[in-house]
Amino acid sequence: MEYEAVIGLETHCQLKTKSKMFCGCANEFGADPNTNVCPVCLGMPGVLPVPNELALQLTALTGYLLNCEVPNFAKFDRKNYFYPDVCKDYQITQFDFPSTTTGYVDFEFGSKIERVRITRAHLEEDVGKNNHFDQHSGVDFNRAGVPLLEIVSEPDISSADMAYDYLNALKDILIYGGISDCDMEKGMVRCDVNISVRPKGATDLGTKIEIKNMNTFSGVRRAINYEVPRQIDTLESGGSLVQETRRWDDDAGITETMRSKEHAHDYRYFPEPDIMPLRPSEEWLAEVRSHIVELPLARKQRFIMDYSIPAQDAEVLVGNMPLGAFFEKAVDGSKNPKAVANWVINNLQARLVEAECTIDELKFGPEAIRELVEIIDCGAISNKGGQEVFNELFNNGGSPKDIVDARGLAQVSDSGELDKWCRDAIDTNPGPADDVRNGKENAINFLKGQVMKASRGKANPQIVGEKLLKLLKG
Amino acid sequence: MILHELTIAELTAKLASKEVSSREAMHSCLDRIDAVDDRINAFISIDREDALGQAEAADVVLGQGANQNDQPLLGVPISLKDIFCVKNQPANCASKILGDFRSPYDGTVVQKLKEAGAVVFGRVNMDEFAMGSSTENSAFGRTCNPWDLDRVPGGSSGGCAAAVVAQECFGSIGTDTGGSIRQPSALCGCVGIKPTYGRVSRFGVIAFASSLDQVGPMARNVRDTATLLGAIAGHDSKDSTSVPIEVPDYVGGLDVNLEGIKLGLPKEFLGAGIDPEVQSVFEAALKQYEALGAEIQEVSLPHTEYGVATYYILATAEASANLARFDGIRYGDRVEGNDPFSLYCNTRGKGFGDEVKRRIILGTYVLSSGYYDAYYIRAQKVRSLIKQDFDQALSKVDALITPTVPYTAFKAGEKTDDPLQMYLSDIFTISCNLTGTCGVSLPCGFTSNPKLPVGLQLLGKPFGEQELLKIAYAYEQSTPWHKERVKL
């Protein structure tokens, strides 16, 4: 029998705020244990949570970017469970009235645009981190209270690769919106996966199994690639699956039972009485909407359409947001977007990597690239001269025209001087000149080379060719 | 002049005129505590050095010419229920579980008291985590009613009421989740107000039931209570549930003219169960109000009978989460275990008292999957109905008038084996917490044998503290009860 997988993802990502969700402590990775903490995020007696305004805004913005509804009523709830990294032994989250609901993400998968529906994106607080030592354990609460967005998808995903591409698309959207840096190395994104399998074409869902503890997208892909065949094999060999939560062991590359349905937690959710329900005003929402950005996929499609650049180039420019923004400014008013894209991608990007600097540190503005392309296109300088201009721009800044002047890079198109060089070349090289006259047109390249040499590269090669032909063949 | 007997108003006048110093006032409290507190047991602990240090600092400010007009409580010793967080001071909530915990920060109320110039001292006894009506559920022993040491002072702010009435402090700050300020004020014979929910910041108050808890002052008369309320009320950005409404001049608003004031008598409160002597003292108070020009009319609060049940579902549900943090991981007394789960069980099993455990279990139960709708959700609905009752009744009258408690102080141990009977002692006070409105209790007489104080309760509109204090003040000034001093 042929099976199909039905997969939904819960993606947690840390919001890009300066301070934590409910207190003023820094939202910062890598500090010494328990240094970014205060009575509030340590769950000391008597403290109260005060929601971070920016986190609320970023959550609503995420809703808009994921095509969600942003309801005019939302609230926080307490999720009760005992664990050492949960400082209050409940986590403040959103249960039945989340800040955003019912949206979707469109993304490229293979040659098609796929859509994964979003159930909700809700706001909660991150928990601390348990560290285990030889004889004891410790908890670092620096992470406790960092604003965390949980984005829950519908089970619209059918393969590990699709999950991988969805996650990358989601990540790009969040980075574009300034919502999260999505830095995997810093644990800013973590995923849970819900997987079931069923006979291909069946409408009923199979037994749902949740896999926890994946903190890379490739981990998610590997986990799905392990879990789907495992479930199919179990069914094929006559076994049955039970609803359970499994843990992904990244080193071993396997999933293993964490807890079964009977041992599932009863989180005893109830409304968080310390925080008033959220009733975003139209004015507040309008302010949030003013931060809506173009989504990566739409941007890519627009680049291809408006600038007639290859999909591959568009992808590079969309994948690197600052580079794309630079390109957009450079290409504004240019007659040759393709060439601008080439300079930005092939020259600028490469040099930035080489010099280990960012686009903000550049010594020249985007208009310089547009000007450079214009100067080349009008024949004022050669491509080679263009390279020299670009190097000078990159190293010392300035304007391309000034550089051309200062370095004497302008091509000579003036007919008096060119005439002289051409006549000299014909006179001193009668052999090749005769060859051309006798129809061996390739021989002209030799003469051209002689002119270029005489002009020390400044002669405009196109005009030289025309002039030589005219002189030789009348 | 016996210094510790003074009211706050009298003391601040004497401090301003340099007749007495804050240090002397503080000393008078400490001496009084030394003299009587082995019998009352109102205080769990006192940092004498810190208290006298604060008093001396106040004396410096007083010496520079400042007075109560600059800081309304300048130099006045005020005690605190053991539920408030004061930097570097213990905060036990009368429980064993917090061990030698000391708060790393000052709560907002403490900050405000200090800004008002008060000498904030002492940890005053209470029912553990404010769960109780008799101050018997304390890991630090029971507090005694100054009028009869065999009787309870009420609770949970029983230590506050006893300390005020036994003249061990000039005023005290308590909390009221279901009557915990008003009920002990009534049983001990002082004035106590539970402000409107959101009037006083809860930041730095160890939470029992977050949607019901409210901080309030207790003092020897209405004016002192108004002074204290004015000092602690106000919006606080650290408490999202605090409300940004300006704080009126409560003391300035006190007035003895009650012409045109309408008081509502909730007929559902007057059924069986009220002690006959309490009933007759209460009726005399009603007559007195009429004599002062107030009009009394009957009103209806039809859902009153569901108040206690609703309260014990919602309060315990919230408490079960609020008290989860006392787990032995970060602070407090830890009892080790082989894994986190057994550590929790050992720590909480040993640290919490019976009543606290009972309520945590009840709260956990009502929130459990399968029971949540039947209990928690339904209780929230009933809470809305009770709120509607109050809105309707208070749209017709300026305040409601009831006895604070159906009876006077009961004997210690009398109700400890019957939690339900204990819960019912809050029957008249509990609705006010469910509705989030304000209520005040003030002395309205005594029973004769034994002589025990009876409390009168006035329930007001949201943020109607000023009106409520005025109505209380007019009665108080026309009666002798607030001048009665207990003999110890």
Residues A222 and A272 in one domain: yes
The CA distance from B314 to B366, in Å, is 9
The answer to whether the CB atoms of A45 and B103 lie below 8 A apart is yes
Check residue B464 and give its pLDDT.
Answer: 97
Q: Does the pLDDT of residue A312 top 90, yes or no? A: no
The CA distance from A214 to B390, in Å, is 53
- Nearest chain A residue to B91 by CA distance is A45
Does B81 qualify as catalytic in the annotation? yes
Residues A56 and A201 in one domain: yes
Share of chain B above pLDDT 90, in %: 93
Q: Does the pLDDT of residue A195 top 70, yes or no? A: yes
B350-408 pLDDT per residue, tens: 999 999 999 999 999 999 999 999 999 999 999 999 999 999 999 999 999 999 999 99
Residues A273 and A396 in one domain: no
> What's the complex ipTM?
0.94
| Contacting A residues, span 407-466, partner chain B, CB-CB under 8 Å | none
Question: Chain B within 8 Å of A53 (Cβ-Cβ)?
Answer: no
Question: Chain B within 8 Å of A88 (Cβ-Cβ)?
Answer: yes
Check residue B269 and give its pLDDT.
Answer: 86
Rounded to the nearest angstrom, the minimum Cα separation between B98 and chain A is: 9
Check residue A45 and give its pLDDT.
Answer: 97
Q: Give the nearest partner residue to B85 out of A42, A45, A274, using CB atoms.
A: A45
Q: Which of B45, B379, B409 is nearest to B212 (CA)?
A: B379
User: Chain A partners of B339 at a C-beta cutoff of 8 Å?
Assistant: none
Does B95 qualify as catalytic in the annotation? no
The pLDDT confidence band at residue A22, using thresholds 50, 70 and 90, is very high
Question: Chain B within 8 Å of A224 (Cβ-Cβ)?
Answer: no
The CA distance from A70 to A98, in Å, is 9
Q: Does the pLDDT of residue A457 top 80, yes or no? A: no
Q: Mean pLDDT over all residues of chain B?
A: 96
Average pLDDT over residues B85-91: 97
CA distances from B126 to A170, B47, B77, B152, B385 (A): 53, 18, 19, 11, 31
The answer to whether the CB atoms of B324 and A88 lie below 8 A apart is yes
Residues A387 and A420 in one domain: no
Top pLDDT among A396 and A85 is at: A85
The answer to whether the CB atoms of B204 and A83 lie below 8 A apart is no
Question: Chain B within 8 Å of A205 (Cβ-Cβ)?
Answer: no
Top pLDDT among B474 and A303 is at: B474
- Would you call A358 helix, strand, or coil by DSSP? coil
Question: Chain B within 8 Å of A49 (Cβ-Cβ)?
Answer: yes
Q: Which of B2, B85, B87, B92 is nearest to B43 (CA)?
A: B92
Interface probe with A: pick from B173, B238, B338, most Cβ of A within 10 Å: B238
The answer to whether the CB atoms of A46 and B331 lie below 8 A apart is no
Instruction: For Cα atoms A44, A48, A52, give the angle at the middle one, nearest 5 degrees.
Output: 120
- Which among B14, B28, B81, B112 is annotated as catalytic? B81
Q: What DSSP state is assigned to residue B89? A: S
Residues A203 and A308 in one domain: no
B170-180 pLDDT per residue, tens: 999 999 999 99
Rounded to the nearest angstrom, the minimum Cα separation between B487 and chain A is: 37
Residues A149 and A221 in one domain: yes
Cα Rg for chain B, rounded, in angstroms?
21
The answer to whether the CB atoms of A46 and B211 lie below 8 A apart is no
Domain harbouring A444, CATH code: 1.10.10.410
Interface probe with A: pick from B177, B367, B376, most Cβ of A within 10 Å: B367
Check residue B424 and give its pLDDT.
Answer: 78
User: Chain B partners of A39 at a C-beta cutoff of 8 Å?
Assistant: 104-105
Size of interface A-B (CB pairs under 8 A): 101
Residues A53 and A29 in one domain: yes
User: Chain B partners of A46 at a C-beta cutoff of 8 Å?
Assistant: 84-85, 91, 103, 107, 203-207
Residues A180 and A77 in one domain: yes
Average pLDDT over residues B333-338: 92
The answer to whether the CB atoms of B325 and A39 lie below 8 A apart is no
Share of chain A above pLDDT 90, in %: 49
Q: Does the pLDDT of residue B419 top 70, yes or no? A: yes
User: Chain A partners of B198 at a C-beta cutoff of 8 Å?
Assistant: none
Rounded to the nearest angstrom, the minimum Cα separation between A177 and chain B is: 28
User: Chain B partners of A87 at a C-beta cutoff of 8 Å?
Assistant: 325, 330
DSSP string, B40-76: H--EEE--HHHHHHHHHHHHHHHHTT--TTTSTTTT-
Residues A256 and A120 in one domain: yes
Based on the structure, what is the number of domains in chain A? 3
- Which among B79, B134, B172, B180 is annotated as catalytic? B180
Check residue A329 and give its pLDDT.
Answer: 86
Interface probe with B: pick from A129, A265, A272, A274, most Cβ of B within 10 Å: A274
Top pLDDT among B13 and A329 is at: B13
- Nearest chain B residue to A34 by CA distance is B330
User: Chain B partners of A83 at a C-beta cutoff of 8 Å?
Assistant: 340
Please enumerate in sequence order all residues whose Cβ is within 8 A of that of B24, keeping only pairs 6 or more positions apart, or say none.
Answer: B3
The pLDDT confidence band at residue B213, using thresholds 50, 70 and 90, is very high
Top pLDDT among A364 and B277 is at: B277
Secondary structure of chain A in HEC code, one letter for each residue: CCEEEEEEEEEEEECCCCECCCCCCECCCCCCCCCCCCCCCCCCCCCCCCCCHHHHHHHHHHHHHCCCECCCCECCEEEECCCCCCCCCEEEECCCCCCEEEEEEEEEECCEEEEEEEEEEEEEECCCEEEECCCCEEEECCCCCCEEEEEEECCCECCHHHHHHHHHHHHHHHHHCCCCCCCHHHCCEEEEEEEEEEECCCCCCCCCEEEEEECCHHHHHHHHHHHHHHHHHHHHCCCCCCCEEEEEECCCCEEEEEEEHHHCCCCCCEECCCCCCECCCHHHHHHHHCCCCCCHHHHHHHHHHHHCCCHHHHHHHHHCHHHHHHHHHHHCCCCCHHHHHHHHHHHHHHHHHHHCCCHHHCCCCHHHHHHHHHHHHCCCCCHHHHHHHHHHHHHHCCCHHHHHHHHCCCCECCHHHHHHHHHHHHHHCHHHHHHHHCCCHHHHHHHHHHHHHHCCCCECHHHHHHHHHHHHHC
Q: Does the pLDDT of residue A221 top 90, yes or no? A: yes
- Nearest chain B residue to A88 by CA distance is B325
B17-31 pLDDT per residue, tens: 999 999 999 999 999
Average pLDDT over residues B190-210: 98
Check residue A258 and give its pLDDT.
Answer: 85
Top pLDDT among B248 and A450 is at: B248
B301-332 pLDDT per residue, tens: 999 999 999 999 999 999 999 999 999 999 99
Check residue A386 and give its pLDDT.
Answer: 77
Q: Give the nearest partner residue to B85 out of A46, A90, A273, using CB atoms.
A: A46
User: Chain A partners of B205 at a C-beta cutoff of 8 Å?
Assistant: 46
Average pLDDT over residues B133-149: 97
- Nearest chain B residue to A85 by CA distance is B329
Interface probe with A: pick from B175, B240, B316, B318, most Cβ of A within 10 Å: B240
Average pLDDT over residues B125-152: 97
Check residue B160 and give its pLDDT.
Answer: 98
Residues A266 and A343 in one domain: no
Check residue A39 and give its pLDDT.
Answer: 97
Check residue A125 and give its pLDDT.
Answer: 97
Q: Give the nearest partner residue to B104 out of A39, A80, A88, using CB atoms.
A: A39
Q: Does the pLDDT of residue A72 top 70, yes or no? A: yes
The pLDDT confidence band at residue A415, using thresholds 50, 70 and 90, is low
A115-164 pLDDT per residue, tens: 999 999 999 999 999 999 998 889 999 999 999 999 999 999 999 999 99
A189-199 vs A3-14, strand pairing mode: antiparallel
Rounded to the nearest angstrom, the minimum Cα separation between B345 and chain A is: 11
- Nearest chain B residue to A42 by CA distance is B330
Residues A330 and A307 in one domain: yes
The answer to whether the CB atoms of B367 and A80 lie below 8 A apart is yes
Q: Which residues pair with A270 in a beta bridge?
A: A78
Check residue A352 and give its pLDDT.
Answer: 81
Residues A271 and A300 in one domain: no
The answer to whether the CB atoms of A46 and B84 lie below 8 A apart is yes
User: Chain A partners of B368 at a C-beta cutoff of 8 Å?
Assistant: 266, 268
The domain in which residue A439 lies consists of: 415-473
User: Chain A partners of B104 at a C-beta cutoff of 8 Å?
Assistant: 39, 44
Task: Please report the domains of chain B, with CATH numbers, ordered by start residue.
Answer: 3-260+470-483 (3.90.1300.10)
Does B237 qualify as catalytic in the annotation? no
Average pLDDT over residues A278-286: 96
Average pLDDT over residues B413-435: 87
User: Chain A partners of B101 at a C-beta cutoff of 8 Å?
Assistant: 45
Question: Chain B within 8 Å of A89 (Cβ-Cβ)?
Answer: yes
DSSP string, B183-230: HHHHHHT-EEEEPPTTSB--TTB--SSTTT-EEEEEESSHHHHHHHHH
Check residue B409 and give its pLDDT.
Answer: 96
Q: Give the nearest partner residue to B340 out of A80, A84, A88, using CB atoms.
A: A84
Top pLDDT among A346 and B99 is at: B99
The CA distance from A184 to B425, in Å, is 57
Q: Mean pLDDT over all residues of chain A?
A: 88
